[in-house]
Amino acid sequence: MVMNKVIFVLLGLSFSSATTASNIQTNFDGLIEASYDSGSDSLSWLNKGWGTTRFGKDDENFLISRAAFTGRLDFANSWSFFGVAQYVSEPKATLGFTEAYLQYKPIAKGYQVSAKVGAFYPKMSLENTGFAWSSPYTYNYSALNAWLGEEIRAIGTELTIKRPARSFRSKYDVSIHTAVFKGNDPAGTLIAWRGLLPHDRQTHLNERIGFAPLYSLQKPQLSKQWQYSDPFNEIDGRFGFYAGVHLAYLKKHSLRVYWYDNNGDPAAINESIGQYAWDTNFLSIAWKSKLSSQTHLLVQAMSGSTAMGPGRGVDNDFRSWFALLSHKWTAYRFSARFEKSKVIDKDHWEFDPNASDNQALTLHINRSINDNWKLGIEWLYSDSWLSYRYKSGLPLNTTDRVWRVTLSYKL
């Protein structure tokens, strides 16, 4: 697979640099989370079911919900290699990379210019700023960032130009991020055929994500589409791009604005893997305010469109937003998040309904026991209306109330 080749090339370049560099620094970290999750009464989409939560019927309640490991090699020539590997338990136990890239970041007194090449997340989220792209505020990510963790990854190169506030005696930090990439053509599959849902599962590079068996995929127009998303494949040979601006004021307020466009050709298909290229683009705006050193307010909104098939047979708009308030008191953190997500079906293929509407409330509390151990509990309320369930014999509306207790250990 293409992504495996990219990772092996990056590892080879890293170790080649390591043999010639005179001063090499290494850093390896890990995090293991053991959880009890009450799950839903439905089979999870990860097991190709109709459920709207990560864990459902037939999943274990007690399990290692996540284990993540990061490695960084810093070389004396301003180059570094960064990789993230993650273990997940469902639909089967797997360990794989979520990010792997080389970065060039020379020391500069004024403007700072850096670049990276490989597979990486666009830094558009102010929610997923924790270890290995997790959230320091809740276990389940908001629906829009959960989707980024599933179907969005840049496999290419990014250039960053930063104007640090300290270097210019300014109150503002400003940076511009631009990237060109390939290998993200099927992004949008899950928006159309599963909807935007909160959870905390990140997709490994080269991993396929299943969804429920859809009546529409039995029709001739969609018979070449297989029942999964393979989001990090190149289908049409075209480059995608994104551009973003970060603005920070006195390290108290942060704004991130991104435009993403995978530049997909919706008529292109790779029949050997059953995947179309989707024409997916969106605008993301994220805001974070430190109301005090202990209290943070986060707001993020996303609006975009995605289409696939000859004549854009599947054509949808989507939008999602959330507001999160978090307060830290001694060893405790309290967080609450409310969110709404919607997919609007614009095409004329009545046999393939894609509209969905979800709103969710997440309440979270955790306690740091010491530098390594942390214990937390979280409640997720999710109410979803999913039009694609109309041929399943199930109600279009489904409500889930899920409890999760997690004990985490930082290596």
- State pLDDT tens for residues 147-174: 999 999 999 999 999 999 888 889 999 9
pLDDT tops 80 at residue 1: no
Return the amino acid letter for 194.
R
Which of 12-26, 160-174, 240-254, 353-367 has the least mean pLDDT? Answer: 12-26
Does residue 317 surpass a pLDDT of 50? yes
Q: Is the pLDDT of residue 251 over 90?
A: no
Q: How far is CA 267 from CA 76, 185, 222, 350, in A?
A: 47, 11, 12, 19
Alpha carbons 182 and 88: distance in angstroms, whole number: 26
Checking 217-221 for CB contacts under 8 A at 24+ apart, the result is 219/351, 219/352, 221/309, 221/310, 221/313, 221/349, 221/352
pLDDT score at 4: 52
pLDDT at residue 371, as a whole number: 94
pTM: 0.94
Per-residue confidence band for 6, with pLDDT thresholds at 50, 70 and 90 = low
Q: What integer pLDDT is reported at residue 77 of this predicted model?
A: 85
> Nearest CA to 274 among 349, 211, 181?
211
Do 242 and 259 meet the contact criterion of CB atoms below 8 Å apart?
yes
> What is the arithmetic mean of pLDDT over 240-244?
98
Q: In whole angstroms, what is the distance from residue 352 CA to residue 221 CA?
A: 10
Q: Which domain holds residue 399?
A: 2-410
pLDDT above 70: percentage of residues in the chain: 95
Which CATH number is 86's domain given? Answer: 2.40.160.10
The CA–CA distances, whole Å, from 322 to 343, 386, 397 equal 15, 20, 21
pLDDT for the residue 44: 94
- For residue 168, the SS3 value is helix
Question: Residue 191: which region, alpha, beta or left (left: phi > 0; alpha: psi -120 to 50)?
Answer: alpha
Is residue 20 scored above 70 in pLDDT? no
Among 13-27, 236-250, 261-275, 363-377, which stretch is predicted with the lowest mean pLDDT? 13-27
pLDDT exceeds cutoff 50 at 15: no
pLDDT of residue 163: 95
Q: How far apart are CA 73 and CA 62, in angstroms?
A: 35
Average of per-residue pLDDT values in the chain: 93
Q: Is the pLDDT of residue 256 over 50?
A: yes
Query: Domain total for the chain?
Result: 1
pLDDT digits (tens, 9 = 90+) for 98-145: 999 999 999 888 899 999 999 999 999 999 999 999 999 999 999 999
Average pLDDT over residues 58-76: 93
Give the range among 12-16, 45-49, 100-104, 323-327 with minimum mean pLDDT: 12-16
| pLDDT given for residue 141 in this prediction | 98
Q: 245 and 257 in contact (C-beta within 8 Å)?
A: yes
